Amino acid sequence: MKACWKKIIDNAISLRRQLHRVPELTWEEEATAATIRAKLDALGIAWRRCAKHGTVAMLAADAPGRHIALRADIDALPIAEISKAEWRSTVPGKMHACGHDGHTATLLATAGWLKMHEARLPGPVSLIFQPAEEGGHGARAMIDDGALAGVDWIFGWHNWPAIPFGKAICPEGPIMGANGTFELTLTGQGGHASQPEVTHDPLLAAADITQNLQQIVSRRLPPQTAAVVSVTRLHAGDAITAIPDSAYLAGSVRVGNTSERDVIAGHIQQIIEATAASHRVQAD
């Protein structure tokens, strides 16, 4: 038994590193899906395509007990990897920075173990490999395509490097926040940097909005509220000696529930509009 388990773990490590070398972004996971399906075929586990690059496999389909599902996400992020690891990304500007390669390898390792004990499973087990987790609404697409049909319980997990090796955490209630994003374009009136008085500076407005958005968590929400508002992208202009006509700004929000999300969204909207107006620029 120990030798068999060690082989499963060794295969999972190898697969994780293989996937890490060739990351694919949201809704582009064609090769990743092909690898997953080939591994399932090798294990003798039936699967079906779901939501384009998603895959749903099934074990003990006729078992009488409750039907559970185990889920992993498979997409990468548009981040350049600076690691020197032998298995670092070979694709410029793309990286498995969130660990979905590990999630995928772990679920396939679980699939191998469960396949060995399929006859002992009390109920059906669905193995769900979800694309487009990174803002692409892949879960919704898979649900719409029947991924959870007949499922009584579904379980997922997320790697957490801060936790000591070999330990897992499963407390009561929510563990990680739901995420949302926002984007806006500020349109003003550009001009030469030596004459700022004749411009409506969108870059200054973007900087002010970035600062003002930090008031939401620190000054507008109760201190016990679990929320994060982060501006993560700001692009404006090309010339060093010119104030640009427009600026693009985007960010991320993390919240604990839907009502908090709606409150924060309202604050974001109000701050953007008021700050843009004070700088005489248009926010869209």
Domain boundaries, the chain: 2-156, 178-283
What's the confidence (pLDDT) of residue 3?
Answer: 81
Question: Between vectors from CA 111 to CA 110 and to CA 117, what angle results, nearest 5°?
Answer: 90
Sign of the Cα pseudo-torsion (159, 160, 165, 168, in order): negative
pLDDT tens profile 234-278: 999 999 999 999 999 999 999 988 889 999 999 999 999 999 999
Q: What is the pLDDT along the chain (284 residues), one digit of tens a residue?
A: 678 889 999 999 999 999 999 999 999 999 999 999 999 999 999 999 999 999 999 999 999 999 999 999 999 999 999 999 999 999 999 999 999 999 999 999 999 999 999 999 999 999 999 999 998 999 999 999 999 999 999 999 899 888 998 898 888 877 788 888 999 999 999 999 999 999 999 999 999 999 999 999 999 999 989 999 999 999 999 999 999 999 999 999 999 888 899 999 999 999 999 999 999 999 99
Sheet arrangement for strand 178-187: 227-235, 246-255, 178-187, 282-283
Q: Which of the four CATH numbers 3.40.50.150, 3.30.1540.10, 2.40.50.100, 3.30.70.360 does domain 178-283 have?
A: 3.30.70.360
What residue has token string 């940097």?
193
What's the confidence (pLDDT) of residue 172?
Answer: 81
For domain 2-156, which architecture applies? 3-Layer(aba) Sandwich (3.40)
What's the confidence (pLDDT) of residue 5?
Answer: 87
What's the confidence (pLDDT) of residue 1?
Answer: 60
